[in-house]
Structure 1
Amino acid sequence: MLAEHRHFILPGESRLHADVTVSPVGELEVNILEQNSHLSGEFDQLYFYSEGKKTELVCKSQQQKDDVQWHLPLSSADARELAKLIELAEEEYEILMRDL
């Protein structure tokens, strides 16, 4: 599997653009273009919290689950798409490891 790339417009008044990469090795990378900021996390650190039409993607510390490293607001549709990409990457990685 190759890395999957998506471009999302973040909800809110700022309308920031996020370039998201889902890596087949279990990592997510997010670049906020207007702020020149880079966020990353492993799949097992990521949590989706939905409220209405918005969903918050939260990356928590592996050592202390209450420690939030970063969070990113997404539309619910974008969050569903991202969650599906993560799920597919995990499945394909498991298949690859079994075949080895």
Structure 2
Amino acid sequence: MLAECRQFVLPGHNELHAEVTVIPTGELEVNIKENNNSLKADFDELYFYSAGKETELVCRDQLGAESVRWHLNLANDDARELAKLIESAEEEYETLMRDL
């Protein structure tokens, strides 16, 4: 069970790069290198909203569904890849817990 790391260029901000780490225990870490900005969320706090050529990744507070903690725009292909990584991590974690 290993964390998966990817680097994405943020659309509309060619100078900004998001380094994303998917941790199989149910966590996502995002580091925007140029801004030295770190974002964290649990998988169940994440929502993907697609619009045109971009997909917005939104982290909502679990207690208040309307409370947005942070959001990030990704290219559609990058968002799909990230969603697949999260799904794979969840499946891997469930399999591991079942086998224990």
TM-score between the two structures when normalised by the length of structure 2: 0.98
The superposition leaves residues 33-79 of structure 1 with CA deviations (integer Å, 9 ceiling, x where unpaired) of 00000000000000000001100000000100100000000000000
- Structure 1 runs not aligned, ≥5 long: none
Alignment RMSD, CA only? 0.8
The corresponding residue for 1:15 is 15
Instruction: Give SS of 1:83's match.
Output: helix
Instruction: Give SS of 1:84's match.
Output: helix
| Displacement after TM superposition at 1:14 (Å) | 5.0
| Displacement after TM superposition at 1:25 (Å) | 0.3
The corresponding residue for 2:98 is 98
**Structure 1 letter corresponding to 2:50:** S
| Displacement after TM superposition at 1:13 (Å) | 3.8
TM-score between the two structures when normalised by the length of structure 1: 0.98
Give me the identity figure in percent.
67
- Structure 2 runs not aligned, ≥5 long: none
Distance (Å, rounded) in 2 between the aligned partners of 1:17 and 1:8? 6
2:45 is the counterpart of 1:30: no
**Structure 2 letter corresponding to 1:95:** T
| Displacement after TM superposition at 1:15 (Å) | 3.5
**Structure 2 letter corresponding to 1:41:** A
The corresponding residue for 2:40 is 40
Instruction: Give SS of 1:62's match.
Output: coil
Distance (Å, rounded) in 1 between the aligned partners of 2:37 and 2:57? 16
Distance (Å, rounded) in 2 between the aligned partners of 1:65 and 1:15? 32
Aligned length: 100
